[in-house]
């Protein structure tokens, strides 16, 4: 039979749409068991019914037969005559798969015989009939089964005859769905497939996609959308050019107004066109329940999958690109991470493992997280394996932090499974996952705790076609640097130069961290072909520095000037230029000139960073004395005549902002920040500030820094108009204890008397309400606390904080003295707070000694440190420390004490 | 030599052809008019760091980014630039590619039956993308095979 192409294509597309959601729905039906969700079953039923009808019309016998048998089975499920169980749902899933295959090669669909599957489906009904006949029906199926005969007839009496009738059916069905959700129980007339909607109370979670069907949609060829996208891109460029020339010619008001209108409309068009390309990540997510279901039975594991945020939308190209990486990650979870039930029970976990898949928006990007409660990854094992595989040297492996060790899984040629299994050993490694994700401008991170589970976090851009970028100038040419790779812009003018030379390599020193620096002019040198002057490499003495990130490597990029930030439309380069590693494409700027887009990963590969980083580390470690624990302080000032120091350990981030972004609500200041509000406090609100009328010439009056820190889990910003430096300061001597509230002490730093800020003290003084609400969480009975701390300053500070809370404090100056004190009066203390780095006996040694002594087995121990890195954390835990706290983080310390005290009581 | 014979037979089939003739450092060259999309003054060109020397850069052609080759670089001239260069936009294998030349001359009819194989004294590296030599009004014109020429620059880019 010769088939009309248009009609067939329409049928294929429509059927695919029907089948796309079916897997998920069937798995949900299975999960529901005998609590049948009729609306859900109806949805599947209608889908298959439509396919059957159209296939019958087109004379596609195999599809028609298969969907007919399938429909019958679904009919029985709907009537509650057949209870979904893994066995029969398996057959149904097979049928859905087979239908998809047949529809994919529609022209040859009648060549093979699929009656076996039909028989399998029919058999499901026969079995059930037999059961009924012999009167062995279970109680749950009995009652609804009475309706069976009538229902069967109705469904059978509606073989759709034409495509038009299928169409009609679909629209009525959608209407019914819409009404059902709206809680309207009107009967839908003339449509047999939707008869039962009135009997079902509307369930919002009934069938995903059901509500969506009610939307008015038309099908548009993707090519048309791509073209539209390109045209919108053109429009954006033309708009940019027009706006620029209007502003140059300072035209009449009317002109400017038209320009503004055009600007607004263009922005809207761009947005809407982007929306047309947006698709829900659910498209990808929906295939996972089936994968998990199949994998669990293959692997003999029990795995529950929870999906959140399936409705989050991203650009079509990105949705398509993340399918494979995500599948790989999910398979990995099931195969490697989740343990077999017996092991799980042994480890005190629930028998069924859980995998959580989440998508959500964050800071203009989409984040996808995959979290499991499986075995987690063992950094030591990973290191060992990396050494075996030759990915890493023995020495390198030793110095690797746990976080870096876990990221080894992304190294090419690295597979952690003991044996390559059928499930995840498919020749694609995690390196491919990472490459594919980075190719679309995303990045992937992993964190893992042994025996607790792992979390994979993928960050993706919303779209690829239009990206926000920073336009920079190098050697007279403009280049675009995608914002996604920019961490921050650094101004060095006016401040003491932070660029240092180590072995002919330039290194940027920023807030105590060293970054390798590259000068863009060095690698972006364009051969001067014109007769013009050949500028010899006269180094730019005052470059602008952009801190960029590629993979997990950060480096500083020096450019001549930072011009502007702009939304750029990415244009591919021609075939001559496609393989240049430094370039990611091109774009057309507002002035009509082409600017090249820099590729940070290409730039990064120019330099062997590992040696630079090592050089930097050497330099740093030479500064650190073994037994002292210097604190890193950020030095800031509000006017010219004052200096304040804040411990870097409690600082989360430092941001540079324009002053006009600060908004006032009442007498309180807030900053619109990362999609939320960041409350701000000013130093002058808490402490007295020396007045100064002398203006600092280096100070940018439009910008300020904001120091972001946490107060009971909420982010707060401290306004720091000027930031000077980050210094390391040893507190073992020379601290004068402060008398002002909010000031912990006064120290001389670089010739200035610097007030050490008790950040939490000052915050509490300014905004007591934030602390009042949390009073309960830190409230506990008076405890007898032993403090071990070598620095007099911190010892005093701690005592003050603890005494304020009503505790009784005994001070000792090192581990040795602490141990002696405890040994003499073993029952005199309820809790020990100890510094880590101390002379004679360190905090860890002290802890080890105490834990070895049966008298102190249960003594709660909190270690205080400024070095909250993974390594010392795990060493501390191994030694027997109950909790870790950062010095000067008062709220966290107090809640930790309260928590430990309450658990001790419950013991 | 085998190659030149092939060229001759090919030319005989095509017969008369319209060519766009242009000058590059004293050489008169021609490309088939069917492959020429348009001729532009050279608007602002953006140099591409790391690209092959025969690539002059990229330009904005009504919203498309087009790679521009420098004919003087391809023909190994000593001077890479001269004043008022013109940009011939060619359509080669579905891509617009610019060719930067000294001056576009005219559209000429070339009787391909009078074509001569490229003389052996022309540099071997150039011979690969020159199809033939013709006489027009008592002057010589070298017919360029744009596809071969563009592939050549591409190959050298890849190896660079």
CA-nearest residue to A598 within chain B is: B49
> What is the spatial distance between Cα A611 and Cα A617, in angstroms, rounded to a whole number?
10
3-state secondary structure of A457: strand
Per-residue pLDDT at A514 exceeds 50: yes
State the pLDDT confidence band at A596, using cuts at 50, 70 and 90: very high
- pLDDT for the residue numbered B68: 92
Average pLDDT score over residue span A570-589: 82
Distance from CA of B24 to the nearest CA of A (A): 16
How do strand A644-647 and strand A752-757 relate by DSSP bridges?
parallel
Tell me the backbone φ, ψ of residue A847, rounded to 5 degrees. -60, -45
What pTM does this model have? 0.44
A384 to A333, A380, A396, A417: CA distances (angstroms): 21, 6, 11, 13
Of the listed ranges A106-120, B53-67, B69-83, the least confidently predicted one is A106-120
Q: d(Cα A66, Cα A115) in Å, to the nearest integer?
A: 8
Which is more confident, A623 or A368?
A368
Question: Does B52 lie at the interface with A, CB-CB under 8 angstroms?
Answer: yes
Q: What is the mean pLDDT of residues A679-691?
A: 76
Instruction: Test B48 with A596 for CB contact under 8 angstroms.
Output: yes
User: What's the pLDDT score for residue A690?
Assistant: 64
Q: Say whether B157 and A577 touch across the interface (CB within 8 A).
A: yes
- Calpha distance B132→B32 (Å, rounded): 12
Q: Which of B60, B67, B80 sits opposite A576 (nearest CB)?
A: B67
Whether A492 contacts A545, CB under 8 Å: yes
Query: Touching check for A676 and chain B: CB below 8 Å?
Result: no
Q: Which residue has the tokens 């002490």?
A: A745
CA A658 to chain centre: 27
User: What does the pLDDT average to over A843-869?
Assistant: 79
CA distance B157 to chain A (A): 6
Could you report how far apart the first and last alpha carbons of chain A are, in Å?
Answer: 81
pLDDT band with cut points at 50, 70 and 90 for residue A83: confident
Instruction: Of A180-184, A256-260, B8-12, B154-158, give the lowest mean pLDDT range.
Output: A180-184
Whole-number pLDDT of residue A460: 85
Span B31-45, pLDDT tens digits: 988 889 888 887 788
Q: Do the Cβ atoms of A803 and A809 come closer than 8 Å?
A: yes
- CA-closest candidate to residue A608, choices A712, A519, A693, A516: A516
**Could you tell me which chain B residue has the CA closest to the CA of A235?**
B63
CB contact under 8 A, A583 and B48: yes
Q: Which pLDDT does position A620 carry in this prediction? A: 33
Q: How do residues A445-494 score in pLDDT, each as one tens digit? A: 888 888 888 899 998 877 666 777 889 988 888 999 988 788 888 766 54
d(CA A462, CA A54): 38
A478: nearest CA in chain B?
B46
Q: Which of B41, B44, B45, B58 to mutate to test the interface with A (most CBs of A within 10 A)?
A: B58
- The more confident residue out of A147 and A502 is A502
Judge: B50–A580 Cβ closer than 8 Å, yes or no. Answer: yes
pLDDT of B56 higher than 70? yes
Lowest mean pLDDT among A410-424, A470-484, A596-610, B97-111: A410-424
Token pair for A220: 């548009």
Q: Best-predicted range by mean pLDDT among A108-122, A165-179, A236-250, A587-601?
A: A587-601
Looking at every residue in chain A, the average pLDDT score rounds to 73
Contact B65 A571 (CB under 8 A): yes
In the predicted model, is pLDDT for residue A878 greater than 70?
yes
pLDDT of residue A613: 39
**Interface predicted TM-score (ipTM):** 0.82
Contact status, residue A778 vs residue A789, Cβ threshold 8 Å: no
Q: Give the pLDDT confidence of A403-445 residue by residue, as tens digits.
A: 778 888 887 666 554 444 444 444 457 777 887 787 777 788 8
CA distance A558 to chain B (A): 16
Q: Which pairing describes strands A365-372 and A453-461: parallel, antiparallel, or unpaired? A: antiparallel
Lowest average pLDDT, out of A205-219, A319-333, B56-70, B145-159, goes to A205-219
Residue A136 has pLDDT above 50, yes or no: no
pLDDT of residue A532 exceeding 50: no
A159: Cβ contacts below 8 Å, ≥ 6 apart? A52, A53, A56
The residue in chain A having the minimum alpha-carbon distance to the alpha carbon of residue B48 is A526
Give the one of A525, A531, A574 whose C-beta lies nearest to B66's C-beta. A574
Residue B35 has what DSSP assignment? Answer: G
CA-closest candidate to residue A287, choices A52, A62, A25:
A25
C-beta atoms of A588 and B60 within 8 A: yes
């Amino acid at each position: 039979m010769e088939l009309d192409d248009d009609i067939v294509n329409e049928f294929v597309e429509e059927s695919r749409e029907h089948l796309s959601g079916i897997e998920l729905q069937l798995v949900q039906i299975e999960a529901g068991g005998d609590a049948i969700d009729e609306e859900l079953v109806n949805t599947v039923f209608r889908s298959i019914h439509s396919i059957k009808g159209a296939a019958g019309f087109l004379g596609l016998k195999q599809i028609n037969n298969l969907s007919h048998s399938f429909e019958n089975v679904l009919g029985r499920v709907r009537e509650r005559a057949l209870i979904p169980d893994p066995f029969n749902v398996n057959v149904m899933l097979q049928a859905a798969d087979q239908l998809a295959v047949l529809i994919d090669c529609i022209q040859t669909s009648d060549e093979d015989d699929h009656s076996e599957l039909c028989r399998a489906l029919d058999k499901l009904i026969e079995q059930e009939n037999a059961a009924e006949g012999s009167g062995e029906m279970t109680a749950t199926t009995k009652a609804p089964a009475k309706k069976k005969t009538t229902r069967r007839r109705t469904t059978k009496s509606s073989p759709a005859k034409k495509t038009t009738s299928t169409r009609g059916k679909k629209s009525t069905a959608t209407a019914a769905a819409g009404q059902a959700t709206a809680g309207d129980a009107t009967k839908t007339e003339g449509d047999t497939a939707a008869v039962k909607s009135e009997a079902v109370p509307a369930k919002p979670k009934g069938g995903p996609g059901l509500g969506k069907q009610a939307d008015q949609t038309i099908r548009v060829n993707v090519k048309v959308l791509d073209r539209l996208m390109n045209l919108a891109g053109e429009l954006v460029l033309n708009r940019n050019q027009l706006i620029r020339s209007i502003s140059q010619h300072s035209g009449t008001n009317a002109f400017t107004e038209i320009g503004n209108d055009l600007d607004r409309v263009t922005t809207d068009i761009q947005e809407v066109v982007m929306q047309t390309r947006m698709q829900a990540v659910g498209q990808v997510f929906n295939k996972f329940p089936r994968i998990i279901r199949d994998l669990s039975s293959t692997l003999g594991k029990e795995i529950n999958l929870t999906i959140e945020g399936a409705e989050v939308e991203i650009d079509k190209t990105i949705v398509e690109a993340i399918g494979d990486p995500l599948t790989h990650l999910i398979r990995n979870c099931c195969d490697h991470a989740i343990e077999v039930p017996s092991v799980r029970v042994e480890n005190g976990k629930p028998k069924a493992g859980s995998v959580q898949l989440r998508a959500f928006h964050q800071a203009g990007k989409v984040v996808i997280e995959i979290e499991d409660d499986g075995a987690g990854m063992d950094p030591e094992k990973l290191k060992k394996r990396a050494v075996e595989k030759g990915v890493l040297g023995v020495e390198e492996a030793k110095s690797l932090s746990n976080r870096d060790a876990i990221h080894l899984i992304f190294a090419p040629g690295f597979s952690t499974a003991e044996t390559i299994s059928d499930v995840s050993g498919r020749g694609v490694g995690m390196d491919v996952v990472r490459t594919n994700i980075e190719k679309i401008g995303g990045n992937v991170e992993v964190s893992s705790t042994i025996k607790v589970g792992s979390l994979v976090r993928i960050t993706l851009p919303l779209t690829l076609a239009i990206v926000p970028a920073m336009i920079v100038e190098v050697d007279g040419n403009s280049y675009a640097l995608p914002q996604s790779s920019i961490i921050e812009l650094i101004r060095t003018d006016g401040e003491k130069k932070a660029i240092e030379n180590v072995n002919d390599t330039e290194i940027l020193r920023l807030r105590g961290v060293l970054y390798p620096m590259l000068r863009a002019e060095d690698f972006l040198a364009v051969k001067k072909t014109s007769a013009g002057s050949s500028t010899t490499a006269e180094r730019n003495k005052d470059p602008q520095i952009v801190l960029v990130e590629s993979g997990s490597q950060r480096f500083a990029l020096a450019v001549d000037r930072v011009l502007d930030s702009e939304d750029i439309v990415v244009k591919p380069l021609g075939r001559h230029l496609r393989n240049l590693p430094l370039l990611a494409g091109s774009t057309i700027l507002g002035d009509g000139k082409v600017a090249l887009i820099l590729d940070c990963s290409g730039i990064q590969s120019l330099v062997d960073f590992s040696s630079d980083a090592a050089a930097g580390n050497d330099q740093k470690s030479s500064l650190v004395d073994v037994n002292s624990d210097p604190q890193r302080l950020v030095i800031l000032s509000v006017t010219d005549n004052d200096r304040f120091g804040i411990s870097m350990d409690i600082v989360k981030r430092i941001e540079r902002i324009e002053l006009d972004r600060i908004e006032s609500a009442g007498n309180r200041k807030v900053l619109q920040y990362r999609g939320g509000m960041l409350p701000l406090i000013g130093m002058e609100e808490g402490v007295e500030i020396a007045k100064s009328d002398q203006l600092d010439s280096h100070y940018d009056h439009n910008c300020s820094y904001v120091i972001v820190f946490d107060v009971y889990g909420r982010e707060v910003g401290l306004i720091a108009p000027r930031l000077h430096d980050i210094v390391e300061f040893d507190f073992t001597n020379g601290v004068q204890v402060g008398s002002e509230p909010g000031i912990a002490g006064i120290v001389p730093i670089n010739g200035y008397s610097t007030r050490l800020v008790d950040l939490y003290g000052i915050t509490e003084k300014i905004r007591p309400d934030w602390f009042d609400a949390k009073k309960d969480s830190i409230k506990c009975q008076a405890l007898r606390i032993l403090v071990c701390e070598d620095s007099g300053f911190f010892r005093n500070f701690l005592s003050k904080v603890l005494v304020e809370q009503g505790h009784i404090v005994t001070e000792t100056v090192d581990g040795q003295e602490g141990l002696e004190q405890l040994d003499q009066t073993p029952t005199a203390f309820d809790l020990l707070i100890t510094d880590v780095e101390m002379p004679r006996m360190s905090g860890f040694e002290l802890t080890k000694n105490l834990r070895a002594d049966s008298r102190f087995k249960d003594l709660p121990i909190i270690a205080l440190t400024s070095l909250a890195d993974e390594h010392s954390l795990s060493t501390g835990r191994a030694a027997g420390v109950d909790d870790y706290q950062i010095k000067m983080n008062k709220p966290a310390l107090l809640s930790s004490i309260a928590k430990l005290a309450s658990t001790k009581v419950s013991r | 030599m085998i190659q030149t014979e092939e060229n001759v037979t090919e030319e005989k089939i095509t017969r008369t052809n319209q060519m766009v003739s242009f000058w590059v450092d004293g050489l008169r060259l021609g490309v088939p008019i069917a492959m020429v999309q348009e001729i532009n003054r050279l608007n602002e060109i953006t140099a591409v760091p790391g690209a092959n020397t025969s690539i002059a850069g990229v330009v904005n052609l009504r919203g498309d980014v087009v790679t521009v080759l420098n004919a003087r670089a391809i023909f190994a001239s000593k001077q890479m630039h001269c004043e008022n260069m013109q940009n011939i936009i060619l359509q080669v294998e579905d891509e617009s590619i610019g060719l930067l030349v000294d001056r576009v001359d005219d559209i000429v009819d070339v009787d391909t039956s009078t074509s001569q194989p490229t003389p052996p004294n022309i540099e071997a590296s150039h011979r690969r993308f020159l199809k033939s030599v013709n006489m027009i009004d008592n002057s010589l014109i070298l017919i360029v095979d744009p596809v071969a020429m563009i592939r050549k620059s591409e190959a050298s880019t890849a190896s660079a």
